[in-house]
Structure 1
Amino acid sequence: MRTTILSLLAAAVLSTAGGCNNEEDEPPTVQQTYVLVHGAWQAPYVWDSVKAHLSADGNKVIVVELPGHGSDTTPPHLLSLDVYRDEVIDAISSADSSVILVGHSMGGMVITSVVEKIPAKISKLVYIGAFLPASGEALTDLASSDADSRLGPLLVPSADRLMLDVKRDSLSWLFINDGTDVEKQRVIDHYRAEPAIPFTNKVKVTKENFGSVEKVYIKTMQDVVISPALQDRMIAAAGIQTVESVNTSHSPFLSKPHEVSSLLLKIKK
């Protein structure tokens, strides 16, 4: 009996020791800071699920609310791409180290402007179904070249041309056609007309700043706002080597948040 007990104790000790060695052999989890920038006609809520997934993996996540979106009431005549840029730069200033900067749709214009100003603070740029301008281009330049986009005919400018509305019966079809009824309703419930001036502001980038930061593009393959064809042209023009894709409409963080989160976690390695 004594021999049996001693054998069991020895086996338990060896098992525990082996478990400790396995834990020591596992590589430590690399923690990162992600800064997430929403696009036009949307707000920080779109990142809720992705933020939760990234945070659960031990990462810090900063979600930016662009002026004139969400709960912000800045008058549209005071807004510009530079105002958006400075809001993101201010958010990044709270980070302890360089960040992975992620932009969706119009947010691609914003993150491009940001990295030109503070390249040393950005470890990677990630575009998700986003506009990616060359130097001297505005969002309107890129959008007007997109023959496959279905957005243009559904836009309704305000009388003073300071705001752009989208025909309400087309909102969910444009932005989240592949989403659940719940997510489609969220898009409708949070909808606000979009400030127009930033769409016309041109971006200036240089090889020394914008060109010095690694870039990743995540294509949205069912997108009818920024077509896959335009995405391909922008990727080629920017010389991006790392390209991923999600088989979704324009808002993959709402329709397929786990896929987006997995790609963002993969990108950080």
Structure 2
Amino acid sequence: MCLYIHAKFAEYNSTQMKMFIRKQITKPLFHMVIMAMASLLTFSSCSKDDNNNGHSAKTFVLVHGSFQAPYAWQFVKARLEALGQKVVVVELPGHGQDQTDPKTISIKTYRDKVVQAITAINGPVVLVGHSLGGAVITAVTDTIPERVEKLVYLAGFVPANNQSILDLTMMDPNSLFGPALTFSAAGATASIANDKIVSVFAQDGNDQVKKLLMDNNRPEPIAAQADKLILKNPSFAAVPKYYIQTTQDHAVTIDLQKKMISAAGIMNVYSVDSGHCPMLTQPDKVSDLLLQISR
């Protein structure tokens, strides 16, 4: 748009435009209005292009992890939207305000919720999954690969075919996540006490982040952790995949992250020097990486 307007101004140098201006010189008010309108249009169109950095808006679908809910993405969502992007945050069943019976929740339940959210959106999406959300977005992309432009794991689990989150956690002996869990009598949920949840998820968080974790802490449905993913769509392999590592992670350690990245053959790898939840502790960094990846 800027180039178009500048070209139009260049036309003012033509003989025809010079004659026109001479005719209007006796009408200063008219001339001032025309110039003001042109200047405003130039400023508005250039500013819009500058804010978008020359890139069209993408639609990001963000999926949270265990013991969390949409609140975990609030800072990243706000920043991406302020930069002109479209953002949809999915609330997984049994999390946040959702009261789905935990005994009925499986990895397919999570998958179907995200698939439903994506099918309501026009066009392809950049699909992002944190932690447990990594397994969910893997199942989603195997189901509707044509709707996923790029697949981004943020400290996320990356199960291979016939592999579960539980299988992967067994490969992570230094994680603080498992030892922090206590299980309900019925065995359908697990809990982490408030005095442990910060050290597991966000030891690098400020007081606001720590309060968010504790205020939103609720029992986690656990059956989905043992569900093995069955990946059968050949088109899944063609979807570009990206991984954002969290180098100081106490829940999904960097050692396990590197194992999963290698096993999945993911070549596009980025790092944040943070604990398990950089979308809370370093939202600007995560937002900038997502924008970089989306381009």
TM-score relative to the length of structure 2: 0.82
Unaligned runs of 5+ in 1: 1-12
Identify the residue that residue 79 of structure 1 maps to in structure 2: 105
Provide the rounded CA distance (Å) in 1 between the counterparts of 2:235 and 2:247. 30
Please tell me the residue identity of whatever aligns with 2:168: L
Q: How does 1:96-135 map to 2 (within 5 A)?
A: 96-135=122-161
Question: Do 2:181 and 2:192's aligned partners in 1 also have CA atoms closer than 8 Å?
Answer: yes
What is the root-mean-square deviation of aligned Cα atoms in Å? 2.1
**Residue 148 of structure 1: which of 174, 193, 196 is its match?**
174
Unaligned runs of 5+ in 2: 1-34
Asked if 1:38 is matched to 2:64, the reply is: yes
Runs of 4+ with deviation above 3 angstroms: 22-28
Question: Do 1:137 and 1:203's aligned partners in 2 also have CA atoms closer than 8 Å?
Answer: yes
1:159-182: CA deviation from partner (whole Å, max 9, x where unpaired):
111001113311111111101011
CA separation of 1:237 and 1:164: change in aligned 2, threshold 3 A: same
- Give 1 or 2 for the bigger CA radius of gyration: 2
Please tell me the residue identity of whatever aligns with 1:246: V
Please tell me the residue identity of whatever aligns with 1:48: Q
Question: Do 2:143 and 2:233's aligned partners in 1 also have CA atoms closer than 8 Å?
Answer: no
Identify the residue that residue 237 of structure 2 maps to in structure 1: 211
1:211-244: CA deviation from partner (whole Å, max 9, x where unpaired):
1100000000100100000000100011111000
Single out whichever of 207-216 and 67-76 deviates more from structure 2.
207-216
Quote the offset at 1:207 in angstroms: 6.3
Provide the rounded CA distance (Å) in 2 between the counterparts of 1:54 and 1:206. 33
Q: How does 1:54-69 map to 2 (within 5 A)?
A: 54-69=80-95
1:123-177: CA deviation from partner (whole Å, max 9, x where unpaired):
0000000100010101100001112211111110111110011133111111111
Please tell me the residue identity of whatever aligns with 1:215: K
**Residue 171 of structure 1: which of 197, 201, 220 is its match?**
197
Question: Do 1:146 and 1:227's aligned partners in 2 also have CA atoms closer than 8 Å?
Answer: yes
Quote the offset at 1:23 in angstroms: 4.2
Single out whichever of 138-147 and 198-207 deviates more from structure 2.
198-207
Question: Do 1:218 and 1:245's aligned partners in 2 also have CA atoms closer than 8 Å?
Answer: yes
Report which of the two has the higher share of helix.
2
Provide the rounded CA distance (Å) in 2 between the counterparts of 1:207 and 1:77. 28
TM-score relative to the length of structure 1: 0.90
1:178-200: CA deviation from partner (whole Å, max 9, x where unpaired):
01011101100001110011011
Secondary structure of the 2:243 match is strand
Question: Do 1:138 and 1:203's aligned partners in 2 also have CA atoms closer than 8 Å?
Answer: yes
Provide the rounded CA distance (Å) in 1 between the counterparts of 2:54 and 2:274. 33
Asked if 1:181 is matched to 2:185, the reply is: no
Secondary structure of the 1:35 match is strand
Asked if 1:161 is matched to 2:200, the reply is: no
